[in-house]
Chain A
Amino acid sequence: MNLKNLLSLSLVFLLFAFITEAQTKKQRAAAGYVISNYEVECMGTGMDGTQLIKVWGFGRNPDDAIYMAKKNAVHAVIFKGILGGKPGCMTRPLVNQPDAEEKHREYFNSFFSNGGRYLQFVSQTGDGKVDRIKVSNKDYKVGIIVAVMHTQLRTELETAGILKELSRGF
């Protein structure tokens, strides 16, 4: 194989790598601010107005994974409901409409942005204790226990016009 062919081949590989990376980035963007297959379970009934849950997040390092886990927690309360674990959490999500996330994409993109408003509705408990699994050279999976202030979250979404108040229309 002469040098010219080798260079061409290398260029092709590099291009492929860039495309793949771009595709991966695009996939991430399409998936949005969370990776939808996160795990969440109920840890019992939280204080009034809160949901006490254990949630997992992925990241390139444990810190990132913890941030992602907090996002996942708020996301779960809004869109998924808390189905597994101990009894005591709301099984129905705050937002029931299947297309609500897409319909209010702009709002949620801002809400769930890094350092966004979602942080006001979640607080980590457990004195810093986390469960951590290194799943590959580049990825960590971290589980944390958080309290999500679902009552305040509902008020936030009602103010934003995404949720209807119970007494609205009457």
Chain B
Amino acid sequence: MMKKYALIVIFILSTVIVFAQAKKPTIMVIPSDNWCIKNGYVQTQDVMGTSKTFPDYKKAVQNDTELLMVLSKINTLMADRGFPLKNLESVLKSLETESANVSMMTSKSGNDLAESPIDVLNRTANADIIIQLTYVVNQNGPKRSITFMMQGLDAYTNKQIAGAQGTGQPSFATELTVLLEEAVISYIDDFTSRLQDHFNDLFKNGREVALQVRVFNGADFDLQQQFDWKGEKLECSEIVEDWVAANTVQKRYSLSSSSENRMIFEQVRIPLFDDRDRPMDTRRWVRDLRTMLTGAPFNTPVKIYTKGLGEVWLILGEK
């Protein structure tokens, strides 16, 4: 009998262990804007009447063998650490074959955003952490050295969560590819160590996300509309803010902008698991807010739009 109970406990525990795992962030390595511009891999686009320069990643990976080698080396080392990365070249190929929906919103939003190549790339790759890679070959007489930089950026908070940089020892005899490989090996451990710190922070203090609450043009009310809420007369924005405070880890969030049509919450710390110990993502987290807003006294349709793990938009007024 005892044996049976033990087995059941073990089974439940293992299930919990198996399922109580957060969603692994996806990481992708790309060359930085600085690198692309310095090496001539750029394209120009007309953005609202102004000619703007953007990196041309496809041209870079097709023409620069050393870049490919560096990207490959980083990918290999990260895979060895149990964290295979999204391959830039593969993502670029998907871009060509997949029909991407450029507009994030329907016509009711009124804003047709023109997307830059990086926006398209980010949206398509859906990488949560972008590793921006920069390297410069320094030449002094016969000697060459590499100044190398890896910046790990959270794709949606745009914060740098990890990094490693430095200049290697000069050499005149070592091939450039070996110098680059050496640079990756030299800095990858420091980088992943800082990445580990970030993940530890994640587990301890929750995942940092961003929340935007917006209003369609044809909505019945805006965010400054007052409602009777739990015995108080509060604006919709205040009610939303109270909800966010109640549903974040240690009430950690920052309301960076609030108007009748828009609320922007940044540095929002959501728990990694819900109250049923299921992995939490932004959609699951904001569902309760949607439920609250679709019910009385608000009774408004709500659209949830997520940008990967890190950003969610809640748009009132239409579905």
Residues of A within 8 A of B (CB): 44-45, 48, 86-92, 94, 96, 150-151, 164-170
With the chains together, A166 CA to B202 CA distance in Å?
12
A88 and B189 in contact (CB under 8 A), knowing A169-B199, A170-B25?
no
Show 12 A/B contacts (Cβ-Cβ < 8 Å), sorted by A: A44-B169, A86-B169, A88-B168, A88-B186, A89-B186, A90-B193, A91-B190, A164-B200, A169-B199, A170-B24, A170-B25, A170-B199
A91 CB contacts on chain B under 8 angstroms: 190
Q: How many A-B residue pairs have CB under 8 A?
A: 59
Residues of B within 8 A of A94 (CB): 193
* Docked complex: B195-211 residues within 8 A CB-CB of A: 195-197, 199-200, 203
The distance in angstroms between the C-alpha atoms of A89 and B24, with both chains bound, is 28
**Interface presence of B116 (CB below 8 A):** no
A151 to B81 Cα, complex, angstroms = 9
Q: Which of A45, A89, A150, A166 is close to B196, meaning CB atoms less than 8 Å apart?
A: A166
Q: Tell me the nearest residue of chain B to A47, going by C-beta.
A: B185
Cross-interface CB contact of B185 among A48, A164, A166, cutoff 8 Å: A48
Partner of B22, one of A87, A90, A151, A169: A169
A153 to chain B, nearest CB (A): 11
Chain B nearest CB from A52 CB (Å) reads 11
**Cβ A96 vs Cβ B189 within 8 A:** no
Q: Chain B: which residue is nearest A169 at the CB level?
A: B203
Task: Check if B52 is an interface residue, CB within 8 A of chain A.
Answer: no
- Contact in complex: A96, B193 (CB < 8 Å): yes
Known: A86-B169, A88-B168, A169-B203. 15 other contacts (CB 8 A): A44-B169, A45-B186, A87-B168, A88-B186, A90-B190, A150-B189, A166-B192, A166-B199, A167-B24, A167-B81, A167-B83, A169-B21, A169-B199, A170-B21, A170-B22
Q: Does B23 reach chain A (CB closer than 8 Å)?
A: yes
A45 adjacent to B185 (CB under 8 Å): yes
Most buried by A among B167, B195, B196: B196
A168 contacts across to B, CB distance below 8 A: 82
How far in angstroms is the closest Cβ of chain A from B122? 20
In B5-35, the 8 Å CB interface with A consists of 21-25
What is the bound-complex CA distance between A25 and B176, given in angstroms? 52
B194 located at the interface, meaning its Cβ lies under 8 Å from any Cβ of chain A in the complex: yes
Is the beta-carbon distance between B182 and A88 smaller than 8 angstroms? yes
**Residue of A86, A168, A169 with most chain B CB atoms under a 10 A cut-off:** A169
Contact at A92–B194, with CB atoms within 8 Å?
Answer: yes
A87 touches B169 (CB 8 A): yes
B166 at the interface (CB under 8 A from A): yes
Min C-beta distance of A84 to chain B, whole Å: 14
Known A-B contacts A87-B167, A96-B193; the reply to A170 vs B186 at CB < 8 A is no
Q: Are A92 and B21 in contact (CB under 8 A)?
A: no
Within the complex, the shortest CB–CB distance from A93 to chain B, in Å, comes to 8
List the 9 closest A-B pairs by CB distance, nearest first.
Answer: A170-B24, A167-B82, A90-B189, A92-B193, A88-B186, A166-B81, A45-B182, A45-B186, A92-B190
